[in-house]
Amino acid sequence: MPRAGLTPESVVAEAARLCDESGFDSLSPAALARRLGVATPSLYKHVAGLDELRRGVALASVTELADRLRSAVTGRSGAEAVHALSLAYRRYAHERPGCYTSLQRVPRPEDAEAHALFARPVEVIASVLRGFAIPEERMVHTIRTLRSSLHGFVDLEINGGFGLPEDVDESFALLVDGIVLLLERRT
């Protein structure tokens, strides 16, 4: 019988917290079972295994990121929306580093539910970019450019890639200002 209070959702939520503390790649059923105070075989009453745990963390994470991005840009447009989106993205990566890492893997092609959820943050980004009159045929390229710029900065920052004493916040603001200039010139 499953431990009282454990559900697939609560197991995934605890797995996400463990990922944030120890890293997404260190997630294992054994570590999670220890944390939850259950035997590893008991965990399988709630999730099928490591792949399902990782998928659950990724789906919860992408939902949370999409909600944060949408909240950040609501009521904003243009440069203000790009800045708000970028700050929310960076903040999420810092606050939920293991969950953020879970978002860097594309779901399996046959996983329609995951693909639908992974589209949500992209839809928020696209809505912001439409304020710059980006032609639809250029939208995917522009989204990739924005995401890779933000991800590159955040990844370097989280992994200690900025060792010089200059203010990293100022560097991030410069990056986002550059993105805004690029977007304004492309219209």
Each residue's pLDDT, cut to its tens digit, for the chain (187 residues) gives: 345 578 999 999 999 999 999 999 999 999 999 999 999 998 989 999 999 999 999 999 999 999 999 999 999 999 999 999 999 999 999 999 999 999 998 999 999 999 999 999 999 999 999 999 899 999 999 999 999 999 999 999 999 999 999 999 999 999 999 999 999 997 5
Q: Do 102 and 57 contact (CB within 8 A), yes or no?
A: yes
CATH of the domain at 65: 1.10.357.10
DSSP 38: S
- Tell me which residue has tokens 């933000």: 150
**Is 40 within the bounds of a domain?**
no
Provide the domain limits for residue 154: 57-184
Q: Decide if 20 is inside a domain.
A: no
- Please check whether residue 36 is in contact with residue 7, taking contact to mean a CB–CB distance below 8 angstroms: no
Residue pLDDT, tens place only, 99-112: 999 999 899 999 99
User: Within a domain: residue 16?
Assistant: no
Q: 183, 132 in Cβ contact below 8 A?
A: yes
Domain membership of residue 87 (yes or no) is yes
E strands in 23-129: none
Q: Compute φ and ψ for 3, nearest 5 degrees.
A: -60, 135
Q: pLDDT by residue (tens digit) across 57-71?
A: 999 999 999 999 999
Q: Tell me if 51 is assigned to some domain.
A: no
In a domain, 11, yes or no: no
Q: Give the pLDDT confidence score for residue 2 in this predicted structure.
A: 46
> Residues 146-153: contacts with CB within 8 Å, 24+ apart?
146/82, 146/179, 149/175, 149/179, 150/86, 150/89, 150/90, 150/175, 151/104, 153/90
Which residues 6+ apart lie within 8 Å of 138 measured at CB? 186
Give the count of domains, the chain: 1
Residue 18 lies in a domain: no
